[in-house]
Amino acid sequence: MNHTDMNITDTLRENYMPYAMSVIISRALPEIDGFKPSHRKLLYTMYKMNLIKGARTKSANVVGQTMKLNPHGDGAIYETMVRLTKGNETLLHPFVDSKGNFAKHYSRDMAYAASRYTEVKLDEICSELFRDIDKNTVDFTDNYDGTLKEPTLLPVTFPNILVNPNQGIAVGMANNVCSFNLKEVCETTIAYLKNSKCDIYKTLLAPDFATGAELIYDEAAIKQIYETGKGSIKLRSKYRYDKKNSVIEIYEIPYTTTAEAIIDKTIELIKLGKVKEITDLRDETDLSGLKITLDIKKSTDVAKLMGKLFKMTPLEDTFSCNFNILCGTTPKVMGIAEILDKWTQFRMDCIVRRIKYDINKLTHRLHLLEGLKLILLDIDKAIKIIRDTEKDEDVIPNLMRGFEIDEIQADYIADIKLRNLNKEYILKRIQDVDDLEKELDRLDAIVKDEKEIKKIIIAELKDVAKKYGTDRKTDIIYDDVTEEFDESAMIEDYNLRIFFTHDNYLKKISHISLRSSGAHKLKDDDYIVCEWDSTNKAELILFSDKQNAYKIRLHEVEDCKASEMGHYIPNIVEMEPDEKILYAIPTSDYSGDVLFVFENGKGAKVSMKCYETKTNRKKLVNAYYGKQKLVGIKYLQNDEDIVIYSSLDKIVIFNTSLMESKASRESMGVSLMNMKKKSTVAKIEYLKDVKFADPSYYTAKNIPASGYYLKDEDNDTGQLSLF
């Protein structure tokens, strides 16, 4: 077939899919024993090298031997080993006892030594990984070239999948399993084995990490992770404050970050002037462990400084969980209960296979002894048969005929040394028959009883917890005792006045500067649309002619003077082409309402709360009703008297208390002024900004109102221009 005629779906199926499946099944995702293939091959190689009890050997030696099972370069295999070592401090319970420099999980830049310089052996806990592996507890498969056998899983005696962390990226999926405390996992598994509906939260308190730090307990987040296998948790660094020397020492950091990342971000904040309390910063990490030292000014509020650093640097970080685990050849995202269920099934199968192996061994032993028992009846006959047999090859058949035993029994008898063919030796061997029969009956009963198998698993879990269990490294702190950093507390606050012009210029002038300033500088034909008193911590909402609202934090806008033109809005806000800002409202608490009046005489009174957002959104679309032309916008801190002008010189004055505040930004509102044919609303004003000889003449007690024609005496009042 010509390559141009190939179907893309066929190409993907034939070439890409096998690759994707290989990555998912044979590389990136852990199985129920808690290991990826690369981990399993490495550890099994070390086990076969007798490194579980023997002395350490050079890492290069292990790497070379592992290549017989893992067809990858020495660099990739050694990197896998590094992560499993005690020296690297990645795992709560390292599997490799190491000597030499293996770098540190909490350091981005520290490099581990070459494999020819370092030494390794298996840690003591590995005896729990390989227990009874020679008793057919797990399946074995050929290695890549068919010259060796390797286990498909390791018969771990505890849920290692939850005890040590795992991270991997496959094709189209990933996994990120956090670590839990070994004692807590064992207690939880025991409780689950006794009652599958047990309260997991009582024993499995929260994740636990090798780097320690503090976990900010969020009940909803923990529940989501435990139930679905997905979610995130917040981790916060630990620090101590030396008041005498004005020094803060950070000695434990989140598992997800590094000391260098924290230092780099802190230096960046110092250079930007956002952190002024720190006078010096050093990385004092040494053989005793991690230490980042901050020299601070004596007057510094330490709690506030650390709150700022938690908010703005990786000193506080998030661990995103994704418990995607291979079950057989199927990847599945599972919660804690389902993982325990799968592990229980796996471990029970290991126990059953081990017992059946023992039963087969004991049955074989019993069978041999039963043959031995028969020759007790006539030892002389057995000796005579052997002595009278001319050919060696006829000894076994002659014994079989003489005592009516099978070939296996006859072979066993024939191999007994001459010195052991005495009554005492044979009687001692036969005494074992009763014990063997009792043991076989006991093992048969266990295999048939699920409860008995669970008792064995529980006993093993208790033993593991007692031998290898440690206290939590990651402390749990609760939301009600953690202080969230208030960023606004670090913003310099002062009173100011905001000016917004028709040509979209914004002036932010402090009250102090305003007192000493002269006349405003404006472009020709430009004029001020609105002006407000506000503070530097407030937000500014800008309403455009395309039904958009833009939000600016005023502390992010530089102050200016009255003699300056001000900031051109399109330079500080990313707006749509040909878009124009109509009105600006500063707010600190989103109190009050916004009045929108349309050309058809209708108006909407929309609550300011409609523009409040939990996230720092810069733009809100559909900020007001867009199916009628907007004539004017007014901010209402409280209800106000508003003047409406029609194109026929009619006027209505009404109080906004006659309108109901709406909770929807797109409300079309209510009729305010009855419009005659071809007449429209021309503009609106606050009554306080207009001078009428008799305002009550135009005032309506109810809306909508028809209004009254403008009196001649009010015609030259110099009302404000339209915006």
Catalytic residue numbers?
117
| Angstrom distance (rounded) from CA 193 to CA 207 | 21
Residue 325 class from Cβ within 10 Å (0-12 exposed, 13-18 middle, 19+ buried)? buried
Residue 552 vs residues 113, 618, 692: alpha-carbon distances, Å: 52, 7, 37
Tell me which residue of 460, 447, 462, 458 sits closest to 192, measured CA to CA: 458
| Angstrom distance (rounded) from CA 376 to CA 183 | 54
3-state secondary structure of 537: coil
Contact (CB, 8 A) for 356 and 448: no
Residue 236 class from Cβ within 10 Å (0-12 exposed, 13-18 middle, 19+ buried)? buried
| Angstrom distance (rounded) from CA 167 to CA 139 | 25
> What's the one-letter identity of residue 655?
N
In Å, how far from its chain's centre is CA 537?
33
Residue 693 class from Cβ within 10 Å (0-12 exposed, 13-18 middle, 19+ buried)? exposed
| Angstrom distance (rounded) from CA 372 to CA 365 | 11
Other CB atoms closer than 10 Å to residue 278's CB: what's the count? 18
SS (H, E, C) 61-94: HHHHHHCCCCCCCHHHHHHHHHHHECCCCCCCCC
| Angstrom distance (rounded) from CA 285 to CA 249 | 11
**Cα distance from N-terminal residue to C-terminal residue, the chain:** 71
Contact (CB, 8 A) for 252 and 290: yes
- Angle among Cα 30, 34, 37 to the nearest 5 degrees reads 50
| Angstrom distance (rounded) from CA 549 to CA 587 | 14
- Residue position matching structure tokens 């790497």: 63
Other CB atoms closer than 10 Å to residue 617's CB: what's the count? 11
Residues in Cβ contact with 395 at an 8 Å cutoff, skipping those fewer than 6 apart: 385, 386, 389, 414
Residue 367 class from Cβ within 10 Å (0-12 exposed, 13-18 middle, 19+ buried)? middle
Peptide bond between residue 397 and the one before it cis (omega within 30 degrees of 0): no
- DSSP secondary structure of 360-414: HHHHHHHHHHHHHHHHHTTHHHHHHHHHH-SSGGGHHHHHHHHHT--HHHHHHHH
Residue 397 vs residues 258, 377, 412, 689: alpha-carbon distances, Å: 74, 19, 13, 126
Tell me which residue of 322, 30, 27, 317 sits closest to 176, measured CA to CA: 322
Classify 458 in phi/psi space as left (phi over 0), alpha (psi -120 to 50) or beta. Answer: alpha
Tokens linked to 392: 């060696």
| Angstrom distance (rounded) from CA 553 to CA 571 | 15
> What's the one-letter identity of residue 166?
N
